[in-house]
Amino acid sequence: MKSKIFVLSVTILFLSSLNLFAQSSYKKPPKDVLDVLNAATFPQTSISPAKDKILLLEPLTYPSIAELSQPMLRLAGLRINPNTNGAHRQSYAVKLALKNIADGKETVINLPANAQIISAQWSADGKYVAAGNITPTGIELWTIETANGKAKMIKNARVNTAFGGFSWMPDQKSLLVNLVPSKRNAAPNYQNLTPTAPNIQETTGKKGTIRTYQDLLRSPNDESLFEYYATSQLAVVSVDGKIKEIGQPAIFDTATISPDGNFIVTSRVQRPFSYLLPASDFPQEVEIWNKDGKSIYKVASVPLQDNIPVDGVTTAPRNYGWIPTESATLVWAEALNGGNPKAKVEFRDKLMKIAAPFSNAPSEIVKTQQRFAGRTFGERDGLMLYSDYNRDTRKRRLFMMDYRSSASAPKMIFDLNVADRYNDIGQPVTKRLPNGFSVIQQNGDEIFLSGAGASTEGDRPFLRRMNLQTLKTEEIWRSGNTEFEGFVVLLDDSGTRFLTRKESPLDPPNLYLRSTAQSQTAQKITTFPDPASQLRGIKKQLVKYKRADGVDLQFTLYTPPNYKEGTRLPTLVWAYPLEFTDASVAGQVSGSTNRFTSIGGISHLFFLLNGYAVLDNATMPVVGDPETVNDTFIKQINDSAKAAIDKAVEMGVTDPERVGVGGHSYGAFMTANLLAHSDLFRAGIARSGAYNRTLTPFGFQGERRNFWEATELYTKISPFFYADKINEPLLLIHGEADNNTGTFPIQSERLFAALQGTGGTARLVMLPYESHGYAGRESVEHTLYEMISWFDKYVKNAKPREKNQTAKQ
């Protein structure tokens, strides 16, 4: 009898253990949260280059987990759906409509049942829209006549979006398309493979920075799969359905038509492939082809990029592209310092060009003292704006010159810290030329600039004109200080008529037409309604304060609907650390409290519907020399967190005994470190983070030193090594298919194991088929359920801390 009782007891214990670790079903958050999550979303808008119509696209906000679970090949940094020969997860629209700007008339576009529209692109004349349509067996190519909204599928044209796409030709009546080759062999097998050999890699003493990339090739069969699905056939496809193939199938990293339509600059990926680097770093042959696919000029043979130093560049030509206003002139950048940012040289880069028929040697346009950082061409007079970047000062300089003349001395427009938002002059306004290329819009000696308009009170977007001779600027328009209104597009050449997108805390974002002749009034073009009126009771305000070392900080304080002033609430601090070289820049205000409050996805703002206050984007600046800034990372985020809590407590909003912290990615890394090195918080939420920096040994974020150069730092900054010090409950959430560099899912799994082994309180939630961000409806709902349940238990309804814990805080 005793033996039977013993067996029964063991059985019960065993079953209880199974229940403890059993997998449960997907959960849903509270109804108030679900109601907002399920609310309608605003259509996406795209303005015709002809400035007469608006394309309205209704997106699918949350695909099902079944859709995410379609076959996925993870190859050379790509994620490919073998059923469609397309990217595995592509955001798409389910409905399209065209709206006239002049009279507001809308034309619904008739699409096939269950359409999944991707990559909608206007022709430069506004007469057509080209788009892809995802089907279970491939990606179709469609065109839409904008005059009548008639949509038509191009027969026998399946687009390879796994490694390619489509773009309009200069005639605006045909497209350059990466087609799935029609005569290829059967695909290599990718299921239930029996290995035929070991997977071998070898190194021969050559140094190079190897980042922790994901989804890399791992076997010869992977190589065959990558080659099969990434290979495409270039073709010109006309809107009337004619298809002309160009050259032989290849793996095209780049294929861009010249402005006159006679040449194509191509970059073809070559073997040998790498098991340590993504496809973008594989060897490439860069050539100029004619319209028949014949190579007429070799730009470069780019080797495998396995020896690039930190923040370095290749020594081969890079950043190549056509000059929009010339028939066929290619321009590119070349390194003058071996690509090494630590090399001490007078000039780091040069810009080169070569024109058709490409029989002469390339000529130099200009040299840059710092690393070349981009170029944009004007619509006439040889105008070129270009920039260079100093990685030590983190300053970017912008220059202008006439690229046609070697005697044209570059004129510097600004020299600013890249984080200096207050002095940012904005971005040049561009327009589409008839050939489809974008250029800076010019009006006499003037160009137009649009920007965020950052200020001490928040962003107030602007539109300005700048005289290219004097560099003086004049404000045409700026958003008011009681709403948030951003510039969208100019409707004329003189800058007197333009579209904006205006919103306020109570009014949803809509498009408006403004005219400088009527500066105080604006014509409403769209009438998108408020999809979640229950959120209008949420209040928010910009709060400024200082850190102990005098650095200016701020957060946006959100309080829940029907909040009674003076009531102390459980509070969530949500943040993401950023690095700065200048404390004055680190303290600049970003964002605006005048924006319309909308909540969706896995947003932490859903806590507002459960009675919490939220300190959103509580700034966590890490200030210092770029080479050593992370040496004080722990102290700076601790001091920033304490200052934020102290300020919210001082305001009478936050209950100091009920404060939690959370973050995503680098914010998750911050969260785990705050719990390990302080007792400021009752619990934490860390999503998709990295917690052991020895697993990212060649740097992270802005860290330049590798593990072997800064072993102590890598250890000290890794919360994994301090798991025994994390004595507050920590919720870890991670996508099982995270593809972000450095945030392998094992990071969360190993931290959880460390917390379990050292007696910590933690919960690990691994989301099937999800990447770095979470997209599936079931995953989104479950994530919100987990976050709210965790904080309700360990923050909102937490037992009072013992006196010695409070004193320690």
Catalytic residues: 665, 738, 772
Pairing of strands 683-687, 730-735: parallel
Element (H, E) at 711: helix 711-716
Residues 6+ apart with CB under 8 A from 130: 119, 120, 121, 123, 141, 142, 143, 144, 166, 168, 175
Query: E strands of 759-804, at which residues?
Result: 762-767
What is the Cα–Cα distance from 644 to 617, expressed in whole angstroms? 11
What is the Cα–Cα distance from 723 to 756, expressed in whole angstroms? 9
> Strands of 318-322's sheet, edge to edge?
318-322, 329-335, 349-355, 363-368
What is the Cα–Cα distance from 99 to 94, expressed in whole angstroms? 17
Amino acid 428 reads P
What is the Cα–Cα distance from 229 to 232, expressed in whole angstroms? 8
Could you report how far apart the first and last alpha carbons of the chain are, in Å?
56
Cβ burial, residue 427 (10 Å; 0-12/13-18/19+): middle
**Region class of 172: left (phi > 0), else alpha (psi between -120 and 50), else beta:** left
Element (H, E) at 6: helix 2-21
Q: Are 57 and 109 in contact (CB under 8 A)?
A: no
Report which of 30, 42, 38, 20 is spatially closest to residue 93, judged by C-alpha positions: 42
Residues 6+ apart with CB under 8 A from 753: none
What is the Cα–Cα distance from 19 to 248, expressed in whole angstroms? 59
Residue with token string 């996508």 = 735
Residue with token string 């080759």 = 181
Q: Which residues of 599-628 are buried (b: 16+ CB within 10 A; e: fewer)?
A: bbebbbbbbbbbebbbbbbbbbbbbbebee
